[in-house]
Amino acid sequence: MAERFRVALSGDFRKADGTPTYPSFDLSPLSADPRIETKWVDAVEGAIPGAALEDCDALILLTPRFGPGSAPKSGRLALVARFGVGYDTVDLPTCDANGIALAITPDGVRRPVAVTIVTYVLALSQKLLIKDRLCRQGPEGWARRGEFMGEGLVGKTFGQLGIGNIGAEALRLLAPFGMRMIAHDPYVDEAAAKALGVELVSSEALFREADFLSVSVPLSEATRHYVNAARLATMKQTAFLINTARGPIVDQRALHDALVSGRLAGAALDVFEVEPCPSDEPILKLDNVIVTPHALCWTDECFAGNGAADIAAALAVMRGEAPRGVVNRDVLETEVFREKLARCARLFG
C-alpha cells in the first residue's frame, strides 16, 4: 500500500455522534486527495497524547494543549497547525526540540476579531445591553430610557494596545467613525502607523487619553497583567476597556475593583483569566460589563478562514514547502525539519 500523508485533527472538531462540530471548517481538500489520510485524536487530561501521533505528519489543533508529552517519539510530526492565532496552549520548546513547526492563522481571524472590537465599541457607546434590559421591563423600563443616554463617537479617542494583524484591521474599520486614533506598539514604526491614520504614543499616554482602549497583544510573561491596577487608575472615569486578546493580560480583580468603584465606566470582555469563566466570577455580576465566552468572533467566516489556512499549511508541508504563518521560524532552518520536508517532497510533492 502506498504511503499516505497523515493529518491528525484534535477530537473536539467532531461531536460525539461523529458529525462536524463546526461545519464551516471544510475538510474536503483533505478527504478528496487520495494521498491523504486523516484521523481524530482525542485529548487526554486536556492534552494531545504523543502516542496517538506516531504515524502523523501534521496536527490541526483546536482547544487541547500540545505539551511536552504530545511530541511523538517517531519524530515524524512536522507541523502543528493551531486553529487561530493564540498559541499559549502549545509548548514552543517542545516543538523546537522535536523539529516541529507551529503555524497559526492570522488571515482567518483578522477581520472577525476586528469586527468584534467594533461591535464592542458600538454596544458600549450606545449602552445596547442596558437598553435591551429596559425594553424587556415594559412601560416601567421604557420610562427610564432617558437615564441612559448613549455617546457619539465623533471626536472620541480610540486607543489600541498593539497594532499587529488584528489591531491594525480594527483601526481600519473604525476610521469612518470620526474618532481620534492612538496606539502603543514598540514594534511598529511611524511610517506604518501613519499609513493607518494612527498616532503612536507612549503606554502612559494611551491609558490616560483613550475613551475606548482595546487590547490586542499576545500573552507572554511581559504582557501578563500588563493592564493592572496602576494603569487602570490613570484612565478616564468615562473610559471603556475592551479585551479580545487573552484574559491574563488584564488583572481581572483590579478591573473589577475599578468598575465597582466608578474609576472606569465599563468594559467588554471576550476573554478571562480562567476559562471557562466560573459562574460565580464577580465581574459577571456587573451591569457595566459586556461579557462573551471567548467566542464573539466565532462566525462561519472565521472558522472557514482558520480551517482553510490550517489545511493550506498542511498541504504545503506535504509538497515539501515551509508553510505560512509559522511562529517558531528558526525551526525551518534546522536539519531535522528540512529532512521532514524532503521526505514529504519525495513521497508526495
Name the domain boundary from 291, 309, 335: 291
Structure-derived torsion over alpha carbons of residues 178, 180, 181, 183, reported in degrees to the nearest 10: -160
Between CA 308 and CA 144 the distance in angstroms is 48
Could you report the per-residue pLDDT of 92-147, keeping only the tens digit for each?
Answer: 999 999 999 999 999 999 999 999 999 999 999 999 999 999 999 999 999 999 99
Q: Are residues 130 and 28 in the same domain?
A: no
CA distance 143 to 132: 13
Cell reading at 54: 506516531
Statement to judge: residues 256 and 199 lie in one domain: yes
Q: Is the same domain home to 25 and 122? A: no
* Shared-domain flag, residues 279 and 217: yes
Domain of residue 113, residue span:
108-291
Q: Phi and psi at residue 148, in whole multiples of 5°?
A: -125, 65
In this model, does residue 2 exceed pLDDT 90?
Answer: no
What pLDDT sits at residue 86? 87
| Antiparallel, parallel or unpaired: β 79-82 and 266-269 | unpaired
Q: How far is residue 146's CA from residue 126's CA, in Å, rounded to a whole number?
A: 12
Instruction: Give the CATH number for residue 57.
Output: 3.40.50.720
Sorted by sequence, the CB contacts under 8 Å of residue 4 that are 6+ apart come out as 35, 36, 37
pLDDT in tens, 13-44: 999 999 999 999 999 999 999 999 999 999 99
How much is the pTM? 0.88
For 308-331, the pLDDT digits (tens) are 999 999 999 999 999 999 999 999
- Please indicate, yes or no, whether residues 89 and 12 belong to a single structural domain of this protein: yes
Asked if pLDDT for residue 72 goes beyond 80, the answer is: yes
pLDDT of residue 47: 97
Same domain, 278 and 202: yes
* Same domain, residue pair 53 and 82: yes
Task: Give the pLDDT score at 1.
Answer: 56
Calculate the average pLDDT of the chain.
Answer: 96
Among candidates 306, 343, 329, which has minimal Cα distance to 82?
306
Q: What is the mean pLDDT of residues 275-304?
A: 95
Location of C-alpha cell 492565532? 85
Active site residues: 246, 275, 294
Supply the angle between the helices 165-174 and 106-125 in degrees, to the nearest 10: 40
Give the pLDDT mean for 243-272. 97
Domain identity same for 75 and 192: no
Q: Is 121 helix (H, G, I), strand (E, B) or coil?
A: helix
Domain boundary among 291, 311, 329: 291
Distance, C-alpha 34 to centroid of its chain = 33
Contact by Cβ (8 Å): 238, 255: no
- Provide the sign of the torsion angle of the four alpha carbons 91, 92, 97, 101, taken in this order: positive
Percent above pLDDT 70 for the chain? 100
One domain for residues 118 and 166 = yes
Same domain, 182 and 323: no
* Residue where one domain finishes, among candidates 291, 309, 332: 291
Question: Are 14 and 74 part of one and the same domain?
Answer: yes
Number of folded domains that form the chain: 2
Angstrom distance (rounded) from CA 249 to CA 213: 13
Q: Tell me: do 71 and 121 sit in the same domain.
A: no
